[in-house]
Structure 1
Amino acid sequence: MESLKIALVSDWFFPSVGGIEYHIHDLATQLTHLGHDVHVITRFGDYPDEKLPYEVHRFKGRITMDGSYVSIGAGVLKKVNELYKREHFDITHSHSIYSPMAVGVTNLSGGIRGVPSVITDHSLLGDSILNPMYIMLLRFSLRKVDSFIAVSNAVEKDIRSILGKSLRNREIYLIPNGIDTEFWRPSEDREKRKEALGLRGVVVTTTSRLTKRKRTHVIPKIARGIKKEYGKDVTFLIIGDGPERNNIERLIRKYDVGDVVKLLGRQPRVNVREYLQASDVYFSPTVYEAFGIAALEALACGVPVVANNHGGISEIVEHGKTGLVSNNDDELMQNLMSLIADEERRQEMGKNARKSVENHFSWEAVVSQVFNAYKETMDQANEEPFVLYKLHQTLKRGIANAGVFNL
């Protein structure tokens, strides 16, 4: 495999944690192990970058939104431009069409530096009265992207809807997120894992950022119905943090389920794995999920998933084989109860889940698809710079030739 110098770009990277952050880290690590020279370009942040197996370049803009982990400003692109002139990247791979740094650097890459670019869309646009404005902005700002990667069919459909005719003949590669199947693996003894964590009975786990969009706030009400049926023999674990935490705590008190719902907050990756290895069912109530990395981690740990039949998560969960997908909240509740009641079915689905991840979502399978997207993008890229940049370069050469300045 030919060695490439690759720039991975996004606002969302360590020390913030989430699906995109870990995806970039894992992809960078895999590409580095294959002999590529990988550089992550991201916002400022306090993190021991020197311990990572690849280069990290951090930039701070004039405008910083800590809550959104975004830092923007013209000064950032000026500094990134100097980095590109120094490093001579072969390709730019940005992450999230909603990341200002990803979109800005992609435009710099193709419009000024002549470096081919691909951007992975990890999210769905969702519903908002501001969507017409967002779509207009995205169509304008993504015009220099050479190709796209969609992590699911739902995301590909979203990209086509957003870009419309402005997509032109640019390629959209359908490549799922990868997962480290050596790290995310089943426990040899689930009951011992439960005992070590102080858990008992059937364990139902959700790992998520606590936002309205993720709908983790429905869990306390569902837990109340389960508690009426099974008492304290079922425990709900909610792993994660976010703006909905106070509301979820209030709902736990309202529905009197503090004895069966444990709000564990943000946990290190190793702890998340241990909780998943102790889990009998993974529960995902969201309806806007572009892919579902958290659900994929559960499947890799041999845990069947109960989820809504919306977005990308329903593409990784095979209904009746690796989990159950639902069309509404009533069905979601019924599917959850059916798995809680059937240990044999849970175990069979768990085995199927692990095999499915190994066959379709291992990094070995995914990274080769990403590399092929790089090569095809590089072969077909339009290296035409921005018109204003061409004018700037023309004027610059003219002035230099006239001997006015030594540029």
Structure 2
Amino acid sequence: MESLKIALVSDWFFPSVGGIEYHIHDLATHLVEMGHEVHVITRFGNYPDEKLPYDVHRFRGRVTMDSFHVSIGTDALKQINELYKMEHFDVTHGHSIYSPLAVGVANLSAGIRGIPSVITNHSLLGDSILNPAYITLLRISLRKVSSFIAVSRAVEGDTRSILGRNLGKREIYTIPNGIDADFWEPPEDKEELKESLGLKGVVVATTSRLTKRKRVHVIPAIAKSVKEEHGENMTFLIIGDGPERETIERLIRQYRVEDTVKLLGRQPREKVREYLQASDVYLSPTIYEAFGIAALEALACGVPVVANNHGGISEVVEHGKTGLVSQDDGELVQNLMALIDDEEMREEMGKNARKSVEDRFSWEAVIPEVLDVYERTMNRGGGNPFLLYRFHQALKRGVADAGVFNL
């Protein structure tokens, strides 16, 4: 494939940190290494963009919700339209159908500039009484997007359900999130690393934003059950922060597992890697997981995963090979104890986990699939322009000074 000029778009990008933010950064970096030109379009924020190996364009909209890291408005879209007229992108790749900026620019790209657009859905919708209204809004706002990527089969099904008949002949491609397998790698000496971090016994790690949906609050009760079975030679690590932190702290005290459960808060990426490398098992208690990038990072570090068999994480973890998947919390505890008791099984699954990441989830495996979607989407063309834009173009052709919209 010839070199492409690619726009990656999302509200969620540095300086905020999370799965989508790092996904965009890693995708952009690897595309540049392959000879493509990449521009990231995102919201305003204070970050040393000049140190990144690709161009970053930041825009501030009239509507800003800092707690959700969202900023959007017609003024921002007008500025982005000018950027598109200047840069002449080949394809637009938005990230998250729940990102107003990604959706707005994908529509601008395909519906005004005639440039094919793709959006990756990274999330599951979940349950809410507002879902019917939300789905209607999504169907309307996604109507000009040329094609879609889903990060798991669970997300693909969710996306098809959301779009319904509005999907039409557009394609949904299922491509997993990629991971930097050179960064997330097994340690040279796990026991030495444990000692340097002050950890004892079998170490069980969980990295997550502390929200009700992630269900990290069940870990203190699980730790109590494991402690009663295995004594003091256990350590549970909870890495992350969020609105449920106080609840989890209270539960740690309530179950009297202060000496077993360490709530470490948010940690730098390099420190998260150290804690994962020092871990023996990764525990994922969540149910609504679109993909499971945190679990994938653990697998890349050679750590077997115990998870619930729901959402996309069960597509990442191969039961009996790279970890154990469970139907409910009772089985989750049983599977966790089984791995704690069997060091040989942990080591075998850890080796399988690392190989699985290299074969299926490394950027070297994922990028060709993404580029194939770009090519397929571009071959289909830019889609149908908005009716208002077609009217505007007709005016421009018929009236000399009809460029009032400056589109």
Identify whether the pair has TM-score above 0.5, normalized to the shorter chain.
yes
Q: Contact 1:303/1:353 (CA < 8 Å) preserved in 2?
A: yes
SS at match of 1:400: coil
SS at match of 2:214: coil
SS at match of 1:355: helix
Match for residue 190 of structure 2? Answer: 190
1:405 deviation in Å?
A: 12
CA-to-aligned-CA distance 1:211-237 (integer Å, 9 cap, x gap) = 111111111111111111222211110
Q: Contact 1:96/1:122 (CA < 8 Å) preserved in 2?
A: yes
Aligned residue type for 2:2: E
Match for residue 70 of structure 1? Answer: 70
SS at match of 2:394: helix
Structure 1: unaligned runs, 5 residues or longer: none
Match for residue 243 of structure 2? Answer: 243
1:119 aligns to 2:127 (yes or no): no
* 1:108-187 equivalences in 2 (<5 Å): 108-187=108-187
C-alpha change, 1:258 and 1:349, in structure 2 (3 Å) is same
Q: Contact 2:9/2:42 (CA < 8 Å) preserved in 1?
A: yes
1:384 deviation in Å?
A: 2.0
Q: Contact 2:396/2:402 (CA < 8 Å) preserved in 1?
A: no
* 1:184-263 equivalences in 2 (<5 Å): 184-263=184-263
Quote the Cα distance in structure 2 between the aligned partners of 1:87 and 1:356: 39
Quote the Cα distance in structure 1 between the aligned partners of 2:394 and 2:28: 37
Quote the Cα distance in structure 2 between the aligned partners of 1:159 and 1:403: 38
Quote the Cα distance in structure 2 between the aligned partners of 1:353 and 1:115: 39
1:57 aligns to 2:57 (yes or no): yes
221-230 or 19-28, which moves further after superposition?
A: 221-230
C-alpha change, 1:405 and 1:136, in structure 2 (3 Å) is closer
1:126 deviation in Å?
A: 0.6
Structure 2: unaligned runs, 5 residues or longer: none
1:65 deviation in Å?
A: 1.1
1:381 deviation in Å?
A: 2.8
Q: Contact 2:144/2:384 (CA < 8 Å) preserved in 1?
A: no
Quote the Cα distance in structure 1 between the aligned partners of 2:88 and 2:31: 18
Q: Contact 1:220/1:257 (CA < 8 Å) preserved in 2?
A: yes
Match for residue 350 of structure 2? Answer: 350
C-alpha change, 1:305 and 1:402, in structure 2 (3 Å) is closer
Quote the Cα distance in structure 1 between the aligned partners of 2:86 and 2:58: 15
Quote the Cα distance in structure 1 between the aligned partners of 2:207 and 2:371: 30
C-alpha change, 1:333 and 1:2, in structure 2 (3 Å) is same
Q: Contact 1:399/1:405 (CA < 8 Å) preserved in 2?
A: no
Quote the Cα distance in structure 1 between the aligned partners of 2:172 and 2:406: 44
1:298 deviation in Å?
A: 0.3
CA-to-aligned-CA distance 1:12-35 (integer Å, 9 cap, x gap) = 111111111110000000000001
Q: Contact 1:400/1:406 (CA < 8 Å) preserved in 2?
A: no
CA-to-aligned-CA distance 1:90-130 (integer Å, 9 cap, x gap) = 00000000000000001110111111001000000111111
Match for residue 363 of structure 1? Answer: 363
TM value normalised by structure 1: 0.98
* 1:74-93 equivalences in 2 (<5 Å): 74-93=74-93
1:341 aligns to 2:326 (yes or no): no
1:401 deviation in Å?
A: 6.7
54-63 or 303-312, which moves further after superposition?
A: 54-63
CA-to-aligned-CA distance 1:307-327 (integer Å, 9 cap, x gap) = 000010000101011000000
SS at match of 1:213: helix
CA-to-aligned-CA distance 1:334-374 (integer Å, 9 cap, x gap) = 11111111111101100010111111111011000000100
C-alpha change, 1:406 and 1:338, in structure 2 (3 Å) is closer
1:44 aligns to 2:44 (yes or no): yes
Aligned residue type for 2:157: K
C-alpha change, 1:224 and 1:404, in structure 2 (3 Å) is closer
Aligned residue type for 2:212: K
Quote the Cα distance in structure 2 between the aligned partners of 1:112 and 1:128: 33
Quote the Cα distance in structure 1 between the aligned partners of 2:68 and 2:232: 38
SS at match of 1:232: coil
Q: Contact 2:206/2:238 (CA < 8 Å) preserved in 1?
A: yes
C-alpha change, 1:54 and 1:405, in structure 2 (3 Å) is closer
TM value normalised by structure 2: 0.98
1:51 deviation in Å?
A: 0.7
Number of corresponding residues: 407
1:397 deviation in Å?
A: 3.3
Quote the Cα distance in structure 2 between the aligned partners of 1:75 and 1:203: 51
Quote the Cα distance in structure 2 between the aligned partners of 1:353 and 1:403: 58
Aligned residue type for 1:226: V
1:404 deviation in Å?
A: 11
Match for residue 10 of structure 1? Answer: 10
Quote the Cα distance in structure 2 between the aligned partners of 1:145 and 1:8: 14
Identity of aligned pairs, percent? 76
